[in-house]
Amino acid sequence: MTVEKAPSRNETTLRELTQTSEESARKRRWLIGITLGLILLLAAFLRFYELGATGVGNTYYAATVKSMLTSWKNFFFASFEPGGSVTVDKPPLGFWIQAISATFLGVNGFALALPQAMAGVLSIPLLFYLVKRQFGEAAGLIAALVLAILPSAIATERNNTIDGLLVFVLLLAAWAFIESVRRGRFRYLLLGTFLVGLGFNIKMLQAFMPLPAFYALYFFGAPHKWWKRIGHLVAATALLAVVSLAWAVAVDLTPAEDRPYVGSSDSNSMLELITGHNGISRLTSNTIARSNDARPQSDGPPDGPSGGFPGSSFTNPPVPPLRLGADGKPIQNLPFRPADANQPLPIPPDASRPQNLPPQAPLAAQGPDGVRPTNQRSSEVGQAGVLRLFTDPLVDEAGWLLPIPLLGIPILLGVLGWKWPLDEKQLGIVLWAGWLIPEFLYFSLTTGLFHAYYLIMLGPPMAALVGATAWALHKLYRERPWRGWILIGLLTAITLAVQAVALLSFPRYAAVLLPITTLLWLAGCTLLGLRSKTVLRKAAYGFLIAAVAVAPLVWSFATALNPNPNAGLPNAGPATQNTPRPMQSGELSAQQEILLEHLFANTDPDSYLLATTSSHSASPFILATGRPVLTFGGFTGRDDVISVEQLAAMVAGGELRFVLSDGSLQQQKPEIASWVQHNCSVVNLPGMTVNQPRSAQAMPQQDRQNMRLFDCSSHWALQEMNDGHAQ
């Protein structure tokens, strides 16, 4: 008979400790999971609450998606209007995703903003995972919270601008680069550069902003010989170039007559657009801004019926190309009889000097080509300088917590030291600091074109470094309590001072939030200074986190609940009387309804609805009807989309009858303005006060800027009558 030996006291104690440890770890995982879940619920509410309720967002982008749904050609080239005359001035990938969403949900504010809102929410657990692997679970949760309540991110991801998608793709690329270092696998490096290339096809060179940090991470961290790392990066760069430029090269290799004009380019080239309007003009004010969102949006185009996805049964009928057909035959069954399609309308000999049109507006605040230089846009982004992101008007976009990561970088370096080879935490500093610092310097010092919502790019590295700094301060406090206490108090105090600057422009918010944040800070510093036990120390940390988080959290709610957001240039905060924020209501104005009724009654469904100077005037009609609307100059009115000869041929061929002058036609396109003045007549519609008589020299300045509708069919009716009398 075998007698089992009773476990010794040491074995029993070890077993109990193991069970206690497992139970504690299980509770910790549950607590972390619940906390992360609450952060995700908060982020989802801030991004999805009444998403799209105020309209379609940026009408230029919304009209592009509407047009892309009319044909595969428009879908591939990202054509701004259904006639396929000009492209949007961005790459297509972000709008392809929006088009897929609109295929199932219709062209409306919710469908267009949905991809960005989803990308914003998905970015949060991804960032948590990345930071947790480097600095621990608490740091990951703090990073997730910071990204969840970043006001600039919320404003942008609730809109149809595509920067939220870009940030998510770049975070995926960061994951791939980290895995390439951790696993030592070349294929993860290729995956990372492939993802950056996809980001390039969302927002072009903006996607390359974190690329130096990604490359530095691999060069300093990959477990290979230095020459092999260089070779890998060269190969990855080749892949990056192929993925980034594949679509642009395909566009440029397509004959110009077989594709739309490249919007906002000077030479009808996508590669030139990359280096010009979306490249050099973002760096210096010596170039003239031609941004798609540098102009206010209209008063709210309707959502309209959704078009069909390419390849399905279309809601909108096929539309004619910009040029005449190969057989030279005009479109038939128009409300007026066109003349010979091959005979363009006569061009006045003095076409370069229009007559009887409003004089050109003063150019005191404009560039030589009538477009305002970027350095005149200080009201949106402030003056260049190291304090730009800490003062109005940008401090309330992303400056709420920015002092923590900037001042936290030297703290992290001091806590970790520097040894070779670099460990995972040090590589984390290389990645996130290498991502944040160049962007901080760019947004602070550039005199080129950028907008407030671009600051969403600061979100991932800033949030990660806030979490990492919290880890470093906790470690320092445990090892050297007094030094840690002083640094924690000082860093949070500086952060609260910056937040006070942001709130002082909004006295009602400041009166409530500043006392709350001050009391929370005092409570946290007091408890931490007592060097108390674990429970009170955790309470102190909670007070300090709440102190620096409550103001941006309130601002995030103000952004999400804003009933009148700026749809064209999304920015954070509540609606104010000092800063008008046009709402995209989804309804045409009364005058636009009258105009549209006349156009429907006097144009063929297969012809252009009308022509106008720029996308600002064209977008509402595209969204309302899905019909092609010709813009003489693309987004800003400056592009060479169509010449006078081509315009005359289109009218002669029956493709176009009406021209809407929005007050800038003479300034932007003087030759076309003169041709319209000599060959078309003003249409006076009952109830439309925007139309003015032909003689405009004696009008007040405000009236000279109003819209006028021209009918270009009357010239041909008169010519045919004269031809009949001659016979």
Cα 302 → chain centroid: 21
Residue with the larger pLDDT of the pair 720 and 61: 61
Q: Say what angle helices 186-203 and 211-221 make with each other, to 10 degrees.
A: 170
In tens, the pLDDT along 103-142 reads 999 999 999 999 999 999 999 999 999 999 999 999 999 9
pLDDT value at residue 249: 97
How far CA 698 is from CA of 360, 667, 673, in Å, comes to 14, 18, 18
Q: φ and ψ at 709, to 5 degrees?
A: -100, 130
pLDDT value at residue 685: 83
pLDDT value at residue 699: 35
Residue 41 lies in a domain: yes
Residue 454 lies in a domain: yes
Lowest mean pLDDT among 436-440, 587-591, 598-602: 587-591
Residue 691 lies in a domain: yes
Q: Does 549 share its domain with 615?
A: no
Residue 273 lies in a domain: no
Q: Does 490 share its domain with 397?
A: yes
pLDDT value at residue 309: 30
Q: pLDDT-based confidence at 279, cuts 50/70/90?
A: confident
Q: Is 70 exceeded by the pLDDT of residue 315? A: no
Closest listed residue to residue 335, CA positions, set 147, 605, 87 = 605
Q: pLDDT-based confidence at 298, cuts 50/70/90?
A: very low
Range of the domain at 657: 590-726
Q: Does 503 share its domain with 636?
A: no
Q: Does 645 share its domain with 546?
A: no
Lowest mean pLDDT among 254-263, 278-287, 520-529, 610-619: 278-287
Question: Residue holding tokens 């007094």?
Answer: 482
Give the predicted TM-score (pTM) of the model: 0.85
Looking at every residue in the chain, the average pLDDT score rounds to 83
pLDDT value at residue 310: 33
Q: Is 90 exceeded by the pLDDT of residue 320? A: no
Q: Is 80 exceeded by the pLDDT of residue 702? A: no
pLDDT value at residue 590: 82
pLDDT value at residue 297: 38
Residue 491 lies in a domain: yes
Q: Does 33 share its domain with 125?
A: yes
pLDDT value at residue 327: 42
Lowest mean pLDDT among 107-111, 113-117, 618-622, 702-706: 702-706
Q: What is the mean pLDDT of residues 632-642?
A: 90
One-letter-per-residue 3-state SS of 624-670: HHCCCEEECCCCCCCCCCCCHHHHHHHHHCCCCCEEEECCCHHHHCH
In tens, the pLDDT along 136-166 reads 999 999 999 999 999 999 999 999 999 999 9
Number of independent structural domains in the chain: 2
Angle at 401 between CA 35 and CA 279, to 5 degrees: 110
Q: Does 494 share its domain with 603?
A: no
Q: pLDDT-based confidence at 272, cuts 50/70/90?
A: very high
Q: Does 678 share its domain with 545?
A: no
Residue 271 lies in a domain: no
Q: Does 146 share its domain with 96?
A: yes
Q: Does 89 share its domain with 185?
A: yes
Q: pLDDT-based confidence at 587, cuts 50/70/90?
A: low
Among the candidates 560, 581, 598, a domain finishes at 560
Among the candidates 514, 540, 560, a domain finishes at 560
Q: Is 90 exceeded by the pLDDT of residue 694? A: no
Neighbours of 213 (CB within 10 A): 21
Residue with the larger pLDDT of the pair 122 and 351: 122
Q: Does 646 share its domain with 512?
A: no
Residue 342 lies in a domain: no
Closest listed residue to residue 147, CA positions, set 180, 177, 176, 170 = 170
Neighbours of 360 (CB within 10 A): 14
Residue 566 lies in a domain: no
Q: Does 38 share its domain with 168?
A: yes
pLDDT value at residue 442: 95
Among the candidates 512, 539, 560, a domain finishes at 560
Q: Does 542 share its domain with 640?
A: no
Q: Is 70 exceeded by the pLDDT of residue 581? A: no
pLDDT value at residue 616: 86
pLDDT value at residue 10: 63
